[in-house]
Amino acid sequence: MKAKSETTSKEKVIAIKGVTKSFGDYQVLKGADLNLYKGENLVVLGRSGTGKSVLIKIISGLLTQDSGTVNVLGKDVNQLKAKELLELRLRIGFSFQNSALYDSMTIRQNLEFPLIRNKKKLTKAEINNAVETVLDAVGLMQTINQMPSELSGGQRKRIGIARTLILQPEIMLYDEPTAGLDPITCLEINSLINEVQERYKTSSIIITHDLTCAKEVGNRIAMLLDGQFQRKGTFNEVFDTDDARVTPFFEYNFIQ
Ligand SMILES: Nc1ncnc2c1ncn2[C@@H]1O[C@H](COP(=O)(O)OP(=O)(O)OP(=O)(O)O)[C@@H](O)[C@H]1O
């Protein structure tokens, strides 16, 4: 398997500079610097508890950093009023492990839901069209009238991604997109993440512990070590090291 190469864009859609965050005496982030460039897939790696979720919460304004700056799509997240923050969040798609589908709604209703809630001016025909377009993008048109319980875990994950895409986000945040899926389904989800990048021209951060996913989808990898992104670059650059904090990731995943 060949690793992806870096994209050429240097336009920053997210710029994180010198971010620190403590909970009580415990400092999780110790001056984290990270840019997400337009159109790229950036994979964030790091051991459990290193602060990946904290960082995503800071990016989306759910937590405030102690120091440093976070700029998302040209806005200083810290300076935004509540309404501006909500507007910014609508430009970001969150694909989280716990973003479950509504069990009592059909797939069509699940996909309509974010549109009806957030884009009140759309006509019924526009909503139908949007639903069919995203279902086609994730290759699951045949499930439109099914219930979530009738779908496999991988299909539900795809529908979850479709429900996020329906609002046409500029940035996608994927939190462990392949966790709990079998290896073949993982490969399908990796392909979908790459298709989303191509088709929707999104810029994405993908948090994962799955190095096959990292290698297949990441134009760049950033590894959080001791509260900072101490290793950044292509997959091969990040793992070309004897650093004892880095090599176990690679050895555990037996990646080719
Ligand atoms: N609201 C909070 N209050 C207190 N401590 C917190 C809070 N949120 C996170 N932490 C602590 O910050 C540290 C980093 O947590 P975080 O959830 O970001 O880890 P992570 O890197 O996402 O881990 P995982 O890979 O297991 O999801 C942990 O020690 C956690 O206990």
Ligand 1 centroid–CA 24 distance in Å is 12
Ligand 1 centroid–CA 23 distance in Å is 9
β-pairing, 67-72 vs 75-76, is: antiparallel
Domain ranges of the chain: 92-168
Ligand 1 centroid–CA 48 distance in Å is 8
If you take atom 19 of ligand 1, which residue's CA is the nearest one? 49
Nearest atom, ligand 1, residue 63 CA = 1
227 Cβ closer than 6 Å to some ligand 1 atom: no
46 Cβ closer than 6 Å to some ligand 1 atom: yes
249 contacts 45 by C-beta, under 8 angstroms: yes
H or E stretch including 190? helix 183-200
Interface confidence, given as ipTM, is 0.96
Alpha-carbon gap, residue 114 to 116, rounded angstroms = 6
Per-residue pLDDT of the chain (256 residues; tens, 9 = 90+): 788 889 989 999 999 999 999 999 999 999 999 999 999 999 999 999 999 999 999 999 999 999 999 999 999 999 999 999 999 999 999 988 766 899 999 999 999 999 999 888 899 999 999 999 999 999 999 999 999 999 998 899 999 999 999 999 999 999 999 998 899 999 999 999 999 999 999 999 999 999 999 999 999 999 999 999 999 999 999 988 888 888 887 777 766 5
pTM across the whole model: 0.93
